[in-house]
Amino acid sequence: MAPKRKSARIEAQAAVPKVLVPKANDKTTAEIKRLKKQLARNKTVSTTQLNKALSDLKLAQYELKRNKMRHALESEEKDDELEMLKTDNHALEKEIKKFKNCKDTKKATEKMQAEYKKIEQSRKRMLEAQSLLRAEQEKKFKEAKPWRQCEICTEEFTKTGARSPRTMSCGHTFCLTCLESMKETYFRTQIRCPTDRKYMYCKDGDLKKLPINYLALHM
C-alpha cells in the first residue's frame, strides 16, 4: 500500500503546471536604475527647495517682527514729541500773555532778546545733535548719505566754501565748484543743468549768490 501512495503523490506533482517567471532583460534593468536615480535627484531638489522656503519664511517673519518693533518705537517717539510740543506751546502762550500785559517797552524788548538767544542756542544744539547722529550712522553703515554729496564730483557738501551746496533755479543742487565749471564758455552768465538740461541765467555770473541747500547739510 505504501508504494502506491508515493506513486500517486508523484503523479499529482507532475500534473501541476510550472509557472515561469520572465527574467528582466538588460534594457528593463537600466530603465529601473535610471528611474531610481531620477527619483533620488527629485527628492534632493525638493528637499533643497523646502529648506529654502523655510529659510525665507523665517527671514520674512523676522523682518515683520522687526518692522513692528520699529513702528512701535517710532509711534512712542512721536507721542513723546507731541507731548513736548504741547508743553512748549503752553509755555509760549504764557510768555505771550506776559508780553501783552507788559507796559514797559524796554523790559519787553529785553525779554524778547532773551527768548531769541534761547531759540538760537536750541537750534545750535539741535544741529550738533544731528551732526553726531549722522556721523554715528555713517560709521555704523560705512557709507555716506548720497544726498549729502555732489552728484557730479561725489564730494561731500560743506557748510561754506567751494563745496557748499547751491540750488539752481530748476531745483537741483550741486557744489559751488562744479557749478563754476559748468558756466558757458562765451557768456559765462548761464549754466545748463546736467540733470534736466534746463538753462539758468546769472546776470553778473556770481554763483555765490545762489541759495545754500541747508536741507542737504542737515538731513
Q: What is the pLDDT of residues 49-98, one digit of tens each?
A: 888 888 888 888 888 888 888 877 777 777 777 788 888 888 888 777 77
pLDDT-derived band at 18 (thresholds 50, 70, 90) equals: low
Q: Which has more confidence, 3 or 38?
A: 38
pLDDT-derived band at 174 (thresholds 50, 70, 90) equals: very high
Q: What is the pLDDT of residues 134-171, one digit of tens each?
A: 667 667 666 666 677 888 888 888 888 899 999 988 88
Q: Is the pLDDT of residue 13 over 70?
A: no
pLDDT of amino acid 22: 53
pLDDT of amino acid 166: 92
CB 139 within 8 A of CB 170: no
- Mean pLDDT score of the chain: 77
Q: Output Rg (C-alpha) for the chain, integer angstroms.
A: 42
Q: What is the pLDDT of residues 122-134, one digit of tens each?
A: 777 776 776 676 6
pLDDT of amino acid 88: 80
pLDDT of amino acid 202: 78
pLDDT of amino acid 183: 79
pLDDT of amino acid 5: 55
Q: Is the pLDDT of residue 213 over 80?
A: yes
Could you tell me which of 137, 123, 140 has the C-alpha nearest to residue 214?
A: 123
Single pTM value for the model: 0.38
Q: Is the pLDDT of residue 193 over 60?
A: yes
